[in-house]
Amino acid sequence: MKTETRSQILKIIEKNGKVRPSELRETLNISAQAIHRHLRSLVEQGIVEARGSAPFTQYALAGVPDLEAVSNWVNAPTLTKSPEESVCETREILTARLPHLKSFVKNGLPENLLPLVISTAGEIGNNSFDHNLGQWRDVPGCWFESQVTGHYLWICIADRGQGIFQSLVKVHPNLADDQAALTAAFETIISGRAPEQRGNGLKFVRNNLSATPGGGLACMSGTGRVTYGEQGEKSIAVLNKHFTKVMGTVTLMIWRMK
C-alpha cells in the first residue's frame, strides 16, 4: 500500500511539475499526516525535493528545474513589460548579473568551472542581443534563470526575439529552415551580422559544455532543436515539457555540482 501511494504521488508530481501537500491530500483522499510521511520518505531518498517555505511549500521531482515562469513569459502571445527580477533588458544588466553566479560555489559548483560558467552564460546571453538588434517581438532583453536541483546547476536563457533562422537567413539565404539555421549557428562559423567576422561564440559554448563531464546544453528556436554534451538529452527533455515551437530562442545549460 505504501509503495502504491508513493507511486501515485510521483505520477501526480511528474504530471503537474510541482504540487502542494494539500493538493495531494485532496486528490488521493488520505490524511495530511500520511501525505507528509510519504513526502518525507521521498525527499530522504532524493527522489523529490521541497521548494519554497511553509505554508507555500511545493514538492517537485529532484533534478528537474522549474521553468514554469520562463515558459509563461516566452509562450505569452504578447507582452508589454517583463518581470524585472528575471529579465535583463539590456546587455549591461546581463553583464552586471553574471558575477552573481559565483555564489553557486558555496552550493558545490567546482571553483575551476566558475569562469567557464560565467563566460558560457555570458555568450548565450549576448547572443540574444546580437541576433535581435531592433528586432524584438515586443519586450527587449533575455530571461536569465539559474537554479540548483538534483546536484546540478541549471541556467536557462531565453528571449522573445525573431529567432535564429530569421536572424541568419537574411545574410545566409541558403539556410532551409529553423533546424538548419540552429545547427549551423552551433556548428559552423556563421553570423547574422555580415560583413562582421563573427560567429564563433556558439561554437565556444558547444565545445566547452561538450567537453565538461556532467555538462550539457539544449537549445530551441522556432521548430529547431539541438543538444550537446553528456546531459544534452536530459536538457532537451526538460525543454520539451514546456515548449513546442519557440518564437525566439531558449537555451538550457547544465553543470554537475560536487
CB 252 within 8 A of CB 217: yes
Q: What is the dihedral of CA 216, 220, 224, 229, to 10 degrees?
A: 0
Distance from C-alpha of 101 to C-alpha of 58, rounded to nearest angstrom: 25
- 4: which residues sit within 8 A by CB, 6+ positions away? none
pLDDT of residue 65: 92
Cell of 172: 545566409
Distance from C-alpha of 163 to C-alpha of 173, rounded to nearest angstrom: 15
- 40: which residues sit within 8 A by CB, 6+ positions away? none
Three-state secondary structure along the chain?
Answer: CHHHHHHHHHHHHHHHCEECHHHHHHHHCCCHHHHHHHHHHHHHCCCEEEECCCCCCEEEECCCCCCHHHHHHHHCCCCCCCCCCCEECCHHHHHHHHHHHHHHHCCCCCHHHHHHHHHHHHHHHHHHHHCCCCCCCCCCCEEEEEEEECCEEEEEEEECCCCHHHHHHCCCCCCCCHHHHHHHHHHCCCCCCCCCCCCCHHHHHHHHHHHCCCCEEEEEEECEEEEEECCHHHHHHHHHCCCCCEEEEEEEEEEECC
pLDDT of residue 77: 94
Whether domain 68-256 has CATH 3.30.565.10: the reply is yes
**3-state SS assignment for residue 21:** helix
Q: Which CATH class is domain 2-61?
A: mainly alpha
Q: In the β-sheet with 48-51, what is the strand arrangement from edge to edge? A: 18-19, 58-61, 48-51
pLDDT of residue 243: 94
Domain ranges of the chain: 2-61, 68-256
pLDDT of residue 205: 94
Question: pLDDT below 50 — which residues of the chain?
Answer: 194-198
Is it true that 2-61 and 68-256 share their CATH fold?
A: no
Distance from C-alpha of 5 to C-alpha of 80, rounded to nearest angstrom: 44
pLDDT of residue 192: 53
The candidate with the shortest Cα–Cα distance to 157, out of 127, 188, 183, 191, is 127
H/E stretch holding 176 reads none
pLDDT of residue 171: 85
pLDDT digits (tens, 9 = 90+) for 163-217: 999 999 988 899 999 999 999 999 987 655 544 444 578 999 999 999 999 999 9
| pTM, full prediction | 0.85
